Amino acid sequence: MMWTTGKKKDSRGDINGRARQGFLCNCSTNLKLLLTALLVICILVNLLQYLHPRILNFYPDYLHYCISHASSSPPPPPPSMLPAEIVVEPGIIRRAFRTYGWAAYNYIIIGAYRGGPSTFAVVGLSSKTLHLHSNASYICQWLPSNSTSSSTPIFSQDQAKIFPDWKLGLIYSVVVVNCTFSHPVNADNSGGKLLLHAFTSGGGDLNLNLTDTIEALEELPGGVDFSVFTSEPKYEYFYCGSPLFGNLSPQRVREWIAYHVRLFGTKSHFVLYDAGGVHPEVLEVLRPWMELGYFTIHNIRGEERFAGHYHNQFLVLNDCLHRYKFATQWMFFFDVDEFIYVPPNSTLKSVLHSLLRYTQFTMEQLPMSDQICSSNDLNATYRKWGFEKLVYRDVKRQLRRTRDRKYAVQPRGVRANGIHLSEHVNGKSTDLEDQLKYFHYHGTVAERQEPCRILTNSTELTVKSNLYVLDDRMVKAGDAVKRFERKTIGDRLLKTQQ
C-alpha cells in the first residue's frame, strides 16, 4: 500500500550518479538508452494528458501513483491541459474546469512524540477547509531501521485525528494525530522511523487522493528510554507557555520568572515558545535561569508563515504537552502576564496533593487593572514590581468566568489540549473555587513603560464605567520574591528596564 523511505533514498542516489555522468558527456550506450527510456516515460505520461478524457478516466490516479514513487513529497495535481470546451453535438457543449496551482499545505508538522511503547502523537497544522469539507485521513507506519524491501510494512491499527482549535483556525487548524500500533514498535531499541501518511481523500479535488508521506520521528539505535513511560517523572511542576511575540517588557518577565520559580521550586521546568517576543533584553533576564536549568526556549518564529489562530497558540500548547508528557507530574498552561496565587495557610504542594485524583483542574482569573496603583506608592512606584503596585481588581470582568480560566493537568492522561482547558482528557476534571487562582495583569507585559497612570488611596474606583476594588493579596509576596531572586542568581538583573 505504501512506499518506503529506504527505496526512495536508493533511487535518489542512483539518479544523482547518473546525472553527473550525463553532465560530463561521458555516457555509455547503455546509459543513453536508459536516459532515453526515462525521458520517454516522462513524455508518455505528459502525452496522456492530451488524449480524450474518456480514455483517461484513470488518469489522475495513475499519474499520482507514478510520481509518488519518485519523491517523498506528493506531486501537485497536474496542470489542466484539456481544451476549455468541446461542442459534443449541436447545442451541447462540454465545459472543462482547468485547475491551477496551490493554495495551502496538506500538513505542516512541528513534532512527533511517543505516548508509550506502541503509541505516538504527531502534532501539526492542516488546511482547515480540507477537514471541514472532506474526510482527510491519516495512518502511521513504523519503519524499522533493519527493514528490507521484502519486510511486511507495519501500519498503525488505530489513528485518531484531534482538532483542538476546531473552528478557530484560519487557513490552518491544528491536527493532532494519535496513532496506536497493535504491538510495541522498536521494542528491541534497534531504531527506526515513524512515517505519517496524510491523505487528502478527495478534498480540494474529488478526483484526487493525494498522499504525503511524512518522516515524523526518527529513533536511533538504543535511543529510546522505555522506562519513562512507567517511572516517576523528573519534575513535579512544568510550565508550558503560549507563543511570545511583540516588544515584551524585560522587567515584567523578570518579575514573572522570579515569582514562579520560587513558587514551583527546584523540581520544576519552564518552556517558553518564542514567536518573536524573546528579544535580546528578554533573553538577558532569562539567561541566569536558563543557566540553572529552569528554562528552555523554543524558537518557533517560523510559525508566522502559517495563518492559524493567534500565533498558532494551540499548536504550541499541544507540542509542549506531548513533548514533555512523561517529564512531569503536573503541567500548567497560562501566560506570562498571569501569576498563580496560593491562598495563605496552604502551599502549592498541599493543594496539588489534594487534587491527585483529577487529571485536570481549572483556576479562576482575578483580572487586574494595568494602570491603577495605590497613591501610597507615589514616590516608590518605579522601585516596586508590577504585582506589588497594580493592586486594583476589575470586578465586572471577573464575572465572565468560563473563558477566563487557565488550567493544569497530569499530562499522561491528556490526548490534546487547549487554551482555557483540555477537552481530551482521560479521567476527571474539576473547576477550583478558592484553592488556587491566578492574578491576570493583562496588557502589562506587552508595554514597555511604567504602568501606574492612575493613583488612588480609595478602596473602590470606577474607570470607564468599570468598578475596580483594592486587592493587595499579591503585595505581600514582593519582598520574599526579590530576596529569592537575589539569593538564586545574584544581582545580575538589578538594572533591568521596563
Interface positions, 294-353, toward its own copies (CB under 8 A): 295-300, 302-307, 319
231 binds its own copies (CB under 8 A): no
Q: Which is nearer to its own copies, 208 or 474 (CB)?
A: 208
- Rounded Cα gap, residues 265 and 252, in angstroms: 20
User: Which of 58, 62, 83, 343 touches its own copies (CB under 8 A)?
Assistant: 83
Residues from 25 through 44 that contact its own copies (CB under 8 A)? 25, 27, 32-33, 35-40, 42-44
C-alpha cell belonging to residue 316: 504550541
109 binds its own copies (CB under 8 A): yes
* Whether the Cβ atoms of residue 365 and residue 406 lie closer than 8 Å to each other: yes
C-alpha cell belonging to residue 15: 539518479
167 binds its own copies (CB under 8 A): no
Residue written as cell 486587592?
Answer: 471
383 binds its own copies (CB under 8 A): no
191 binds its own copies (CB under 8 A): no
- Rounded Cα gap, residues 497 and 104, in angstroms: 42
Q: Which is nearer to its own copies, 140 or 452 (CB)?
A: 140
Tell me the C-alpha to C-alpha distance, in Å, between residue 446 and each of 209, 244, 316.
45, 10, 20
134 binds its own copies (CB under 8 A): yes
Dihedral of the alpha carbons of 423, 426, 428, 431, in degrees to the nearest 10: -30
Q: Which is nearer to its own copies, 122 or 408 (CB)?
A: 122
51 binds its own copies (CB under 8 A): no
User: Which of 6, 59, 99, 329 touches its own copies (CB under 8 A)?
Assistant: 99
- Chain-centroid distance of CA 376 in Å reads 44
Residues from 5 through 24 that contact its own copies (CB under 8 A)? 5, 8, 12, 15-16, 18-19, 22-23
C-alpha cell belonging to residue 308: 492559524
User: Which of 58, 61, 69, 95 touches its own copies (CB under 8 A)?
Assistant: 95
Residue written as cell 473563558?
Answer: 403
Judging by DSSP bridges, how do beta strands 107-116 and 358-367 pair with one another? unpaired
55 binds its own copies (CB under 8 A): no
Please report which helix (H) or strand (E) contains residue 363, including its range.
strand 358-367
Size of residue set near its own copies by CB under 8 A: 103
Residues with Cβ within 8 Å of 225's Cβ and at least 6 positions away in sequence, in order, are none
Angle at 19 between CA 13 and CA 24, to 5 degrees: 135
Among 158-166, 287-295, 416-424, 444-452, the segment contacting its own copies (CB under 8 A): 287-295
488 binds its own copies (CB under 8 A): no
104 binds its own copies (CB under 8 A): yes
User: Which of 113, 114, 121, 128 touches its own copies (CB under 8 A)?
Assistant: 128
